Structure 1
Amino acid sequence: MESSIKINVEREGTYSVLKESYHNAPYKLTHYGAPRAQEHLEMIIMSASPGIMDEDHLAIDIRVRKDACLKLFTQSFNKLHPMKKGATQDTIIKLEANSILQYVPHPVTPFKDAIFHASNRIDMHDTATLIWGDIISAGRIYMNEAFQFQKVHSRTTLYRDGKLIYTDNQCLMPHEQPVQKLLFFEDYTHQAAFIYSGPFARQMKEEFDEILAGSYENITFGFTYCADNSILLRALGHDGELLYSFLTMLSQMCWEFTQHQQQLLINESVLLSQEIGDKKNPESKAPAKKKSRKKTAA
């Protein structure tokens, strides 16, 4: 089945609004709560299907215009059913100046004999911010289907002002590779990747150094400054829901930090404009002179 989801978000006044959208069966795109409950826009992708079937193809197109902010959610785990030919998902994202996108979908769960190809291309303006997550499961663990899928190939490329700054090309074929061992899942059943890319990444890295200094129960992780203005975190665990909650916590932290930093820049810009205006018109700040009254003789 050929399916498509399109989202176009723009800024109107102080609100980010959905200007254009499109979806077809089995997917549905709807507001996550009240449309104007907050200044940013929150949307959720829902599906009436039990999962992705053989020969399915989903195309996702997301555009976040200048100064707009979007949080995009998913409904549930992305289940990949048994296949003979395979299924594909292509995501194209464009982020304009000062825009923010947060997108941390639920984990991908490949069933036995699943074949899946995912491609993600993100084009960003230099001042835009991306908060992105990705979780892959070994399969239906409690159905004894761990690493029984045929192939899961995921590629993510990130461009800033037309320049490639990050690429992640991961191809998992359990029947041909030791995916359970070192450099793959390392005896864990779930792996996650988290990317924070934007003009405040260096400051965010300093926050991570303090907040993530300790250990988290049942999660092994590490993070680094992977490219210009970009942080990459990778995590391993045995529980998809736990990893999803972990990435959701990180994404909210990054979201609030980004908006705070943007507000600081706006405040600084306003103060600078006032100072420039005062220098151009020094008389506007000079105290008004009191008019003297002449006394007349009685």
Structure 2
Amino acid sequence: MDSIIKINVEREGHRSLLKESYHNAPYKLTHYGSPRAQDHLEMIIMSASPGILDKDSLVIDVHVKENAHLKLFTQSFNKLHPMKEGASQETNVRLDKDSVFNYVPHPVTPFKDSIFKTVNTIHVNDDATLIWGDIISAGRIHRNEVFAFQKLHSITRIYKDGKLLVTDNQCLLPREQPVSDMLFFEGYTHQATLFYCGPFAKLMKDEMDEILTMEYEDVSFGFTECANNTLLLRAVGTDGELLYSFLTMLAQMCWVFTHDQLAVKAEEAMKLEAETAQRDVASTDLEDTPKRTEPKGITSKTVDTKTAGKKKTVSKGKKAIKKDTERKTSKKAV
């Protein structure tokens, strides 16, 4: 059966809302809990099928738009039933600027003779944050179906601004490979992978260096910065539920840390905006201050007080000489 799930998330005000979405049988997309319980959006993928059957095909398209935040959950373990030709799953994710997407599905459990291929293509904006996990199981352990499947092929590609950032390609062929030996599972039955990709990856690694110092029972793990602003954590164990709880705990830690950093970033942006506004107001006040202007045709001159005094004295002397001359002339005439 060919199935499709489409999820589009947009930001309206302070809340992330589900917009153009679509799903068909046997899958159903619904809210995980109350849609108004938090500002971010939480959705869960449910299925009426007992698992993935032969020739099944599932395509999941997720688009988290600018400033929107989404947590996506699954209902239960992804069971792969016995097959002759195989089944496939394709997941396409696009994260716009300042968006956050968290997705850690339940473990994949391949039954005996199952054949499965999954391809995950993720496009991340430079300012977006991706929290992505997956868990591979050896099979139905308690039914002695350990690595009894035919083929399990998982490919994850992460692109940032159109350029390939990370490729994780795992192809397990138990009938051709010594999957239980050294350099493979080495006696473990479950493997978990967690990617954290975003602008706060370096800070997140510092946090993990401090927090993940203790040893966890039945779980062995390691993490590194596998690419620019991208962390990769691998963990192995023998209990699917325990490993799933461990991975979801780490994902939640990344989620909380990301939102704390976004809050700090928003506060700094508001502070910078306020300072810029104050500078603009001060600059406007200076421009609006009236300037002294001289009437046209009149040139403003600077007059020296001493020179002015001399000019006045000379003028008075000339007037006195003129009067004296007029008086003498009058006497001669008489």
TM-score relative to the length of structure 1? 0.94
Residue identity opposite 1:199 in structure 2: P
Q: CA deviation at 1:17?
A: 0.1
Instruction: Tell me the residue number matched to 1:233.
Output: 233
- Counterparts of 1:132-281 in structure 2, within 5 Å, are 132-281=132-281
Instruction: Tell me the residue number matched to 2:29.
Output: 29
Q: CA deviation at 1:134?
A: 0.6
1:204-254 per-position Cα deviation (integer Å, ceiling 9, x unaligned): 000000100111110000000110000000000000000000010001100
Secondary structure at 1:146 match in 2: coil
1:70-125 per-position Cα deviation (integer Å, ceiling 9, x unaligned): 00000000000000000000000000000000000000000000000000000010
Taking the aligned partners of 1:39 and 1:160, their CA distance within structure 2 comes to 26
Instruction: Tell me the residue number matched to 2:324.
Output: none
Question: Please, which moves more after superposition, 270-279 or 193-202?
Answer: 270-279
Q: CA deviation at 1:20?
A: 1.2
Taking the aligned partners of 1:219 and 1:94, their CA distance within structure 2 comes to 32
Taking the aligned partners of 1:125 and 1:61, their CA distance within structure 2 comes to 16
Relative contact order, CA 8 A, sep 6+: which one is greater?
A: 1
Residue identity opposite 1:24 in structure 2: N
Instruction: Tell me the residue number matched to 2:74.
Output: 74
Extract structure 1 runs of 4+ deviating beyond 6 A.
Answer: none
* Conservation of the 8 A alpha-carbon contact between 1:97 and 1:128: yes
- Counterparts of 1:6-25 in structure 2, within 5 Å, are 6-25=6-25
* Larger strand share, 1 or 2: 1
Q: CA deviation at 1:284?
A: 9.8
1:129-153 per-position Cα deviation (integer Å, ceiling 9, x unaligned): 0001010000000001000000000
TM-score relative to the length of structure 2? 0.84
Q: CA deviation at 1:282?
A: 3.0
Choose 1 or 2 for highest CA Rg: 2
* Larger helix share, 1 or 2: 2
Secondary structure at 2:232 match in 1: strand
Q: CA deviation at 1:277?
A: 1.4
* Conservation of the 8 A alpha-carbon contact between 1:278 and 1:284: no
* Conservation of the 8 A alpha-carbon contact between 1:102 and 1:132: yes
Structure 1: tracts of 5 or more residues without a match: 286-298
Q: CA deviation at 1:261?
A: 0.5
Secondary structure at 2:21 match in 1: strand
Cα-Cα RMSD: 1.1
Structure 2: tracts of 5 or more residues without a match: 286-334
